[in-house]
Amino acid sequence: MLRGIHNLISPELIKILMEMGHGDEIVFGDSNFPAKSHALANLVRADGHSITAMLDAVLPLFPLDYAVDYSLILMQYRGDKEPGVWSKYKERLSAWPDGAKPPSILAKPDFYERARQAYAVVATSESEGFANLILRKGIIRL
């Protein structure tokens, strides 16, 4: 055990977060996301946990990318109303440097293609619709 590491972060996930470099991306997929077929590199299971809980665990350790106009990539939704989970994501990210930027929103096929290029995919049990997201890693600025 280590101090300061949230108990939702598995040894496998901490290893992946440490390996990631500036510009690498990590996907947090909801319960409907085709995680296995889209994780061309690393797949981490976080069964039983929501994406918001995973963000609470990961964001204290994960610097967001300052060098782009977004820190968060979301999958475009269908309908007139923005998915409620998005406001939870934006709230959590805004507490961290470079996290208050507007998200990039990609059409589903483009999001899936971007996910295939990601360094890792974290499969969660998130049940809210259109909850998939991608975070882009930045650098630690002193």
The answer to whether 49 and 8 are in contact (CB under 8 A) is yes
CA distance 71 to 78: 22
Q: Which residues contact 20 (CB under 8 A, 6 or more apart)?
A: 26, 119, 120, 137
Q: Is 22 a catalytic residue?
A: yes
Residue tagged active-site, from 6, 22, 38, 49 = 22
The answer to whether 51 and 126 are in contact (CB under 8 A) is yes
CA distance 93 to 72: 8
CA distance 122 to 100: 23
Residue positions annotated with a catalytic role: 22
